[in-house]
Structure 1
């Protein structure tokens, strides 16, 4: 790493931090089990992932991926429709892979979490009660029995790197586990509904779009408190809140 002129703080909060030093990302995670899942999930995933350079808890060193993120939540994506289609195909490859040996969250646990988050949002007057209630009703439709697949679990658009129409790698696997395929598709397209058709073209099977939208509501309702408590500014500025307000 000689010749590196600066250290870039990619993300930092009380649970974990990611630093970029030249072409190396250093991830510091207080949860050893979560870091172990990230390493194991990358080893099992049948899609491009960052190379693990070394893992000396609590620090994980990863090689930087080529290309650029598919997009950013709250901003228009500069990626081509073909890149979004390629991302959909990569997600399908992951979902077709054998399940990892550890479980994921079930609908009952997610329903309990949804109830807690909605109650907190209303009790603390973070969002209008009618907005919370409407989106809670939508979100509850996603919590039906599903056939588990190998999910990334946090497939934000920022975590998918592309070069032209090719996926060069997918980051941040600490939530990889058993889960609902539609949750990954929803997380990837959150805030980018105009690219849902492109992603599903690459995914290659019929998908219930209403359930994808239901997962949009669930993910956003579950994220707002975390953003508030970690100092991300006024809720009215969050892209997640914009999604909740736009849900029909």
Structure 2
């Protein structure tokens, strides 16, 4: 029998790998339901679903390697990033999923709540939080909903050479803001935005993408801290927030 590798584990979810099979155990069965439904709908490569018996979802591994990881330069070619952009464009052009997404008012309220927590716990200098909250405001505008992945981290896109071989972890797929997906994929790898947009298209709003870099980093930091991750690791959320202070 192959050994069992723990890919990620926290109080909400654990992902195990046994050979070429990934077992995802989630405290909320709705996440697996959305993931299975989303992967059946999207026009991009996804892992084959082997079986689903809540709270466990079994999927097959996809070929290739992740586009990159936080804290390290991506070794993927510009063409691979462009291919990722083209795949995201196909997703965003697809018909909307039938379940609801997050409302603008809810995002704004959560952002304010998370900033208040960051300030109260003094995990970053107050000026960094305030300045990034100002920058994040540009993302809080009405958007035309598209089919988004919802958690399009760089480790969720796999490539082989210059070809996208699979996009994983669809439990947060929903109607939403296209720019949030583009921002999440380039978080900590801002220098690859041009390569990504070469495949995505010229209509992406760079100012809104930059605003989402601040917004996502502010909104995700407390969750990371409370679940045993370190947003202050090199290249991660705190580095992103601090780097934005150097912008005019």
* Cross-structure match for 1:214: 211
Matches within 5 A, 1:72-221: 72-221=69-218
What SS does the aligned partner of 1:235 have? coil
Question: Residues 151 and 233 of structure 1: is their aligned pair in 2 closer, same or farther, counting only changes over 3 Å?
Answer: closer
- Per-residue deviation at 1:107? 1.1
Q: Distance in 2 between matches of 1:8 and 1:95?
A: 33
What SS does the aligned partner of 2:88 have? helix
Q: Distance in 2 between matches of 1:146 and 1:49?
A: 26
What SS does the aligned partner of 2:169 have? coil
2:236 is matched with which residue: 215, 236, 239? 239
Q: Which runs of 5 or more residues in structure 1 are unaligned?
A: none
1:33 is matched with which residue: 30, 34, 38? 30
- Per-residue deviation at 1:233? 4.2
What SS does the aligned partner of 2:17 have? strand
Q: Which runs of 5 or more residues in structure 2 are unaligned?
A: none
* Cross-structure match for 2:223: 226
CA RMSD of aligned residues (A): 1.1
Q: Distance in 1 between matches of 2:113 and 2:161?
A: 42
Contact 2:72–2:235 (8 Å) recurs in 1: no
Query: Which one is further off, 72-81 or 227-236?
Result: 227-236
TM-score scaled to structure 2, two decimals? 0.96
Q: How many residues align?
A: 245
Question: Residues 139 and 183 of structure 1: is their aligned pair in 2 closer, same or farther, counting only changes over 3 Å?
Answer: same
Contact 1:26–1:61 (8 Å) recurs in 2: yes
Q: Distance in 1 between matches of 2:188 and 2:152?
A: 13
Runs of 4+ in 1 over 6 A off after TM superposition: none
- Per-residue deviation at 1:236? 6.2
